[in-house]
Each structure stands twice: as C-alpha cells, then as structure tokens.
C-alpha cells in the first residue's frame, strides 16, 4: 500500500497493527515509523477508484493510506484502541 505522511512524503509501506501502535515499514526506502494508538485523533475512509483512502488525523498531522480494503485497517486500529 502507499502512505502519504504529515509532511507530504509518499512511500510504499507495510503496516502491522500491534497492541500499542501501528508500525509502518518501507523496505524499499529502508524506513520505519511508529504511530501510537494514543496519538490517533480521528479516522476517515473514502473511495477513490478501486482503492480506499484511509486518512488518520493524529496529534502530529495527517497520514493517508491507499489500500484495497480500508475498513479492515480501521477496524483493527479501533479494536486495539479499545
């Protein structure tokens, strides 16, 4: 999936929703990011063509992920935040 972060950088990433955070990894760019669940303020999903855009507003800015099934990602984050 692709990610556009709070400063406008777009990269291919893999996501892992863990108990404490969403871990974002880009092997192509040798980059890792951690989004603590406590930093998530709001989540929204929109449909663009064949992809879902999941926008997560955080305490530090917005992150947008483009993927096939965005609702599964939102559900996984909400379960871990509960």
Q: What is the pLDDT of residues 7-47, one digit of tens each?
A: 999 999 999 999 999 999 999 889 999 999 999 999 999 99
First and final C-alpha spacing in the chain: 25
- Residue 28 · residue 12 · CB < 8 Å: yes
d(CA 23, CA 67): 16
Please give the tally of structural domains in the chain. Answer: 1
The CATH number covering residue 44 comes to 2.30.29.30
- Is the pTM above the cut of 0.85? yes
What is the band of 55 on the pLDDT scale with cuts at 50, 70, 90?
very high
Q: Print the domain residue range for 40.
A: 2-81
- Tell me the backbone φ, ψ of residue 37, rounded to 5 degrees: -60, -35
User: Quick check: 65 and 2 in contact, CB under 8 A?
Assistant: yes
Query: Are the CB atoms for 66 and 1 separated by under 8 Å?
Result: yes
């Amino acid at each position: 999936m692709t990610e556009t972060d709070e400063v406008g950088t777009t990269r291919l990433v893999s996501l892992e929703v863990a108990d404490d955070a969403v871990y974002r990894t880009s092997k192509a760019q040798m980059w890792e990011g951690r989004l603590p669940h406590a930093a998530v303020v709001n989540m929204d999903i929109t449909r663009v063509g064949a992809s879902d855009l999941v926008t997560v507003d955080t305490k530090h800015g917005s992150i947008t992920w483009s993927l096939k099934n965005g609702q599964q990602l939102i559900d996984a984050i909400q379960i871990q935040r509960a």
